[in-house]
């Protein structure tokens, strides 16, 4: 590994220029002095925040912790304007990072990696782009995101629709004029719940096609108090220490009190207070067992159901919006701004597609078993082929030409969510089997980037060329990831965590539920023990 690599040969290829790829590039190029190239399919940096520009797009993590922690000056100079960062602001932040560290010169934009094949004879990855370029690289590092392969359901007649249609994760950069239009939104996950209230303000009529009702907590978004941010900046070291050792990657101290240890009156007062404060603190600052104990959980689920019935004026609509088939937090927890209130607007209609399924998309709109809905625009807020989808979009082949898609055909198999046996020097940032999507992503991303950089540095010092997960260590980790997930409430819902949103996808719980703090300790222990469970050659 040297700086004087041939022009078409490099030390490391990084795929993706989002949070993960940008920091990985900074580490490899500027700290380790490696020749590194980043390939990014968009025409600019940002990853998730480059693509997800739908109305109302915003992060559910609070601004001051939805950022990098690796550079103190960067932390001090950036000013967040709101409690939760909105998509344009996160994108500006990532552009600022790219400029500040002069990262763009190592990024090929508008370039997708179509294949990556491991050359056993040379111990190199041979990477081919859609521009026809073929580059050999010792390391292949994926910063491709967990939720970057959008899924538009294969509804009969979709291609016949004469109006406009968009997926929330591929929203046009110039925006979409919805003023005065009849809009149908399919899907009520995070993207639907965020976009529906905003679309309702512009559209003449909005029809929401709901399959599964959602629990969602008010975000209580607003401008961020300058005094609060000053205090954060003065205490960032401690804030990051807490975030990095926590379960979810946020510096919130969970309350040590069971929902079942107090009277119903007291419990509801706690929930009411947490509801008024808003955000994920509803879970963490109320009771310690609502995500663990089904009886405790039912008290929180029931509280939210009562709120929906209270907010939504029409009792029939309210009842359709009340989730009854899965417990709160078993699907990705949501926070919202005016979501349930939106159903009190005259121009908004909820269409229950469990009751009357969508039969087809026609030239003029959506036909359910009960009615035809004439539409000018269809918005697919239908989610992603999560975690494995981004990998399967690239033809990745390891030793002996084995395809990753083949190896993972019964579900992803990784060691620590970083490496997979048979694919030497393929290192995954927030891959399946790591906490990733169950955490505040920048915290998990930084941990992986730093672990990978340290690993490459150690390999260099020891004269090692390749690192690969040991097959037994991988099997043990896969079993551990599954065993940890089995007793949790996550197993009680059809969620994308389990691949349940993609027809035919194996039902396997993909992220690691052990928490970012415990997981970090495990990764550090593995490294300290001479990369236990890996083969370094
Ligand atoms: P999602 O959570 O998977 O929601 C997709 C929605 O579309 C669900 O309501 C789903 O119904 C529905 N749907 C899917 N296929 C359908 C079909 N064939 N017919 C009818 N309805 C269908 O996707 P998302 O809202 O894009 O969010 C994905 C993840 O991205 C989130 O969980 C979160 O991790 C991340 N995200 C985060 C933010 C944020 O931080 N604020 C914002 C957006 C996204 P079912 O529930 O019945 O499957």
- Of the chain, the percentage scoring pLDDT greater than 90 comes to 96
Closest-CA residue, ligand 1 atom 15, reads 382
Range 453-459 average pLDDT: 98
User: Is any ligand 1 atom within 6 A of the Cβ of residue 189?
Assistant: yes
How much is the pLDDT for 281? 85
Closest-CA residue, ligand 1 atom 20, reads 211
7 C-beta neighbours (distance < 10 Å), count: 7
CA 465, CA 459: separation in Å to the nearest integer?
7
CA 141, CA 11: separation in Å to the nearest integer?
11
Give, for ligand 1, the residue of 51, 82, 146, 383 to mutate: max count of ligand atoms closer than 8 Å to Cβ: 383
- Give tens-digit pLDDT for 318-327: 999 999 999 9
230: which residues sit within 8 A by CB, 6+ positions away? none
Backbone angles phi, psi at 123, to 5 degrees: 50, 50
CA 527, CA 458: separation in Å to the nearest integer?
9
User: Is any ligand 1 atom within 6 A of the Cβ of residue 257?
Assistant: no
- Of the chain, the percentage scoring pLDDT greater than 70 comes to 99
User: Is any ligand 1 atom within 6 A of the Cβ of residue 496?
Assistant: yes
- Give tens-digit pLDDT for 234-275: 999 999 999 999 999 999 888 999 999 999 999 999 999 999
Does the pLDDT of residue 503 top 80, yes or no?
yes
Range 127-148 average pLDDT: 97
CA 43, CA 393: separation in Å to the nearest integer?
19
Separation of CA 59 and ligand 1 centre (Å): 14
Give, for ligand 1, the residue of 52, 59, 86, 191 to mutate: max count of ligand atoms closer than 8 Å to Cβ: 191
Q: Output the six-digit token pair for 235.
A: 């205490």
Range 201-206 average pLDDT: 98
pLDDT class for 8, splitting at 50, 70, 90?
Answer: low
- Give tens-digit pLDDT for 466-500: 999 999 999 999 999 999 999 999 999 999 999 99
* CA atoms lying within 13 Å on the CB side of residue 276: 5
Does the pLDDT of residue 79 top 80, yes or no?
yes
User: Is any ligand 1 atom within 6 A of the Cβ of residue 148?
Assistant: no
> Residue holding tokens 């220490």?
241
Separation of CA 332 and ligand 1 centre (Å): 9
User: Is any ligand 1 atom within 6 A of the Cβ of residue 171?
Assistant: no
pLDDT-wise least confident of 19-23, 277-281, 327-331: 277-281
37 has which bridge partners? 13
- Give tens-digit pLDDT for 204-239: 999 999 999 999 999 999 998 889 999 999 999 999
CA 532, CA 526: separation in Å to the nearest integer?
5
Residue 157's region, left for phi above 0, alpha for psi from -120 to 50, else beta, is left
Separation of CA 493 and ligand 1 centre (Å): 13
Range 164-177 average pLDDT: 97
Please tell me whether residue 461 adopts helix, strand or coil conformation. Answer: helix
User: Is any ligand 1 atom within 6 A of the Cβ of residue 368?
Assistant: no
Does the pLDDT of residue 98 top 70, yes or no?
yes
Please tell me whether residue 472 adopts helix, strand or coil conformation. Answer: helix
Atom of ligand 1 nearest to the CA of 383: 23
Atom of ligand 1 nearest to the CA of 501: 48
Which element (helix H / strand E) includes 339? Answer: helix 339-342
Average pLDDT value for the chain: 96
Does the pLDDT of residue 3 top 70, yes or no?
no
User: Is any ligand 1 atom within 6 A of the Cβ of residue 332?
Assistant: yes
Separation of CA 534 and ligand 1 centre (Å): 36
Atom of ligand 1 nearest to the CA of 382: 7
- Give tens-digit pLDDT for 388-447: 999 999 999 999 999 999 999 999 999 999 999 999 999 999 999 999 999 999 999 999
User: Is any ligand 1 atom within 6 A of the Cβ of residue 329?
Assistant: no
pTM exceeding 0.85: yes
Q: Output the six-digit token pair for 307.
A: 């709120």
CA 356, CA 368: separation in Å to the nearest integer?
6
CA 536, chain centre distance (Å): 31
User: Is any ligand 1 atom within 6 A of the Cβ of residue 192?
Assistant: yes
């Amino acid at each position: 590994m040297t700086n004087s690599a041939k022009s078409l040969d490099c030390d490391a290829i990084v795929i993706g220029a989002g949070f993960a790829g940008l920091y990985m590039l900074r580490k490899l190029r500027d700290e380790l002095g490696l020749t590194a190239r980043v390939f990014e399919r968009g025409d600019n940096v940002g990853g998730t925040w480059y693509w997800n520009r739908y109305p109302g797009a915003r992060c559910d993590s609070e601004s001051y912790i939805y950022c990098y922690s690796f550079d103190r000056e960067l932390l001090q100079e950036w000013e967040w304007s709101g409690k939760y960062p909105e998509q344009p602001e996160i994108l500006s932040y990532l552009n600022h990072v790219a400029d500040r560290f002069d990262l763009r010169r190592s990024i090929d934009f508008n370039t997708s990696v179509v294949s990556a094949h491991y050359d056993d004879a040379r111990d190199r990855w041979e990477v081919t782009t859609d521009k026809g370029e073929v580059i050999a690289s010792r390391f292949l590092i994926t910063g491709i995101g967990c939720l970057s392969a959008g899924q538009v359901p294969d509804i009969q007649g979709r291609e016949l629709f004469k109006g406009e249609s968009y997926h929330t994760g591929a929203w046009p950069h110039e925006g979409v004029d919805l003023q005065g239009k009849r809009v149908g939104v399919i899907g009520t996950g995070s993207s639907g719940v965020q976009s529906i209230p905003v679309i309702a303000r512009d559209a003449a009529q909005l029809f929401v096609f709901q399959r599964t009702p959602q629990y969602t907590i008010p975000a209580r978004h607003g401008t961020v108090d300058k005094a609060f941010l000053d205090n954060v900046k003065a205490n960032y070291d401690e804030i990051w220490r807490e975030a990095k050792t926590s379960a979810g990657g946020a510096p919130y101290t969970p309350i040590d009190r069971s929902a079942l240890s107090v009277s119903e009156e007291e419990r509801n007062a706690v929930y009411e207070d947490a509801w008024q404060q808003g955000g994920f603190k509803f879970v963490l600052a109320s009771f310690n067992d609502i995500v663990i104990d089904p009886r405790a959980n039912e008290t929180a689920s029931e509280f939210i159901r009562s709120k929906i019935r209270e907010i939504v004026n029409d009792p029939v609509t309210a009842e359709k919006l009340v989730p009854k088939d899965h417990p709160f937090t078993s699907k990705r927890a949501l926070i919202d701004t005016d979501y349930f209130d939106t159903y009190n607007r005259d121009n908004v209609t909820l269409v229950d597609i469990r009751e009357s399924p969508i039969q087809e998309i026609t030239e003029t709109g959506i036909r359910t078993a009960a009615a035809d809905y004439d539409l000018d625009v269809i918005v697919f807020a239908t989610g992603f082929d999560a975690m494995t989808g981004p990998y399967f979009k690239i033809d990745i082949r390891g030793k002996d030409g084995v395809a990753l898609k083949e190896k993972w055909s019964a579900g992803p198999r990784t060691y620590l969510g970083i490496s997979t046996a048979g694919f030497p020097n393929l290192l995954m940032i927030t891959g399946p089997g790591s906490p990733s999507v169950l955490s505040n992503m920048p915290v998990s991303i930084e941990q992986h980037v730093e672990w990978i950089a340290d690993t490459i540095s150690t390999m260099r010092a020891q004269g090692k060329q390749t690192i690969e997960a040991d097959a037994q260590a991988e099997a043990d980790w896969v079993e551990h990831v599954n065993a940890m997930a089995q007793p949790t409430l996550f197993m009680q819902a059809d969620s994308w965590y389990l691949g349940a949103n993609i027809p035919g996808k194996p039902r396997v719980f993909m992220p690691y539920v052990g928490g970012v703090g415990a997981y970090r300790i495990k990764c550090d222990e593995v490294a300290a023990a001479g990369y236990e469970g890996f083969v370094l050659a």
